[in-house]
Amino acid sequence: MTGRLTVLAGPSGVGKGSVIAEVRRLHPETWLSVSVTTREPREGETDGVEYHFVDQAEFDRMVADGELLEHDAHMSASYGTPRVPVEAQLAAGGSALLEIDIEGARQVRSSMPDSQLVFLAPPSFEELARRLTGRGTESADRVRERLDRARIEMAAEDEFDVVLVNDDVERAAHALVALMTTPTALE
């Protein structure tokens, strides 16, 4: 028996990171994939916990050797999911959770069609726009660029199996973990 792979993706600014942090807190038994990235660690991040931090040469080698299940670039850094740990977890009959961007989710769908794709959506587009522009320190062009991208990313919702609304981080985290074991357990 093989386990189920669940992929959480969604537009930038929707709060994927907060939902995953809440999953770690409420359900520490959850098996979460640790991505590789070429970006610098942020304060409080530990190599091997949130990410494996690698340089571009090592990232490129992993891509060339087929070691990544999917990969994408984001804000001039590269991100990818190491293949072997995910496959080993599923082969052992366990469930696995990936938090990646929308393009990565598309790649997983084509290489592992049985995976469950969960789209984390904001309560409304206005709410997402508020979160994306809330800082008020950016130029009008930069704000417009972010909103245009958000609109494109929101349109990807239809490609996903399940839409999970991030109206409450704790509720979303519980619902996500429930979906990992019982795909119909959302409502």
The site for ligand 5GP (CB under 6 A) is made up of 12, 16, 35, 39, 70, 72, 74, 79-81, 99-101, 103-104
Q: Shortest Cβ distance from residue 124 to ligand 5GP (Å)?
A: 20
- State which residue has the least CB distance to ligand 5GP: 104
Q: Shortest Cβ distance from residue 187 to ligand 5GP (Å)?
A: 25
Q: Shortest Cβ distance from residue 72 to ligand 5GP (Å)?
A: 4
Question: Between 56 and 182, whose beta carbon lies closer to ligand 5GP?
Answer: 56
Backbone region of residue 106 per phi and psi (left: phi > 0; alpha: psi in -120 to 50; beta: other values): alpha
* Residue 77 CB neighbours (<10 A): 13
DSSP 42: P
Question: Between 60 and 182, whose beta carbon lies closer to ligand 5GP?
Answer: 60
Question: Between 100 and 117, whose beta carbon lies closer to ligand 5GP?
Answer: 100
- Structure-block tokens of residue 6: 């669940």
DSSP 66-119: T-EEEEEEETTEEEEEEHHHHHHHHHTT--EEEE--HHHHHHHHHH-TTSEEEE
Question: Between 3 and 82, whose beta carbon lies closer to ligand 5GP?
Answer: 82
CA distances from 171 to 3, 36, 83, 131 (A): 24, 28, 30, 19
Q: Shortest Cβ distance from residue 37 to ligand 5GP (Å)?
A: 6
- Structure-block tokens of residue 38: 């070429």
- Residue 82 to residue 68: CA distance in whole angstroms: 5
Q: Shortest Cβ distance from residue 125 to ligand 5GP (Å)?
A: 18
Question: Between 36 and 140, whose beta carbon lies closer to ligand 5GP?
Answer: 36
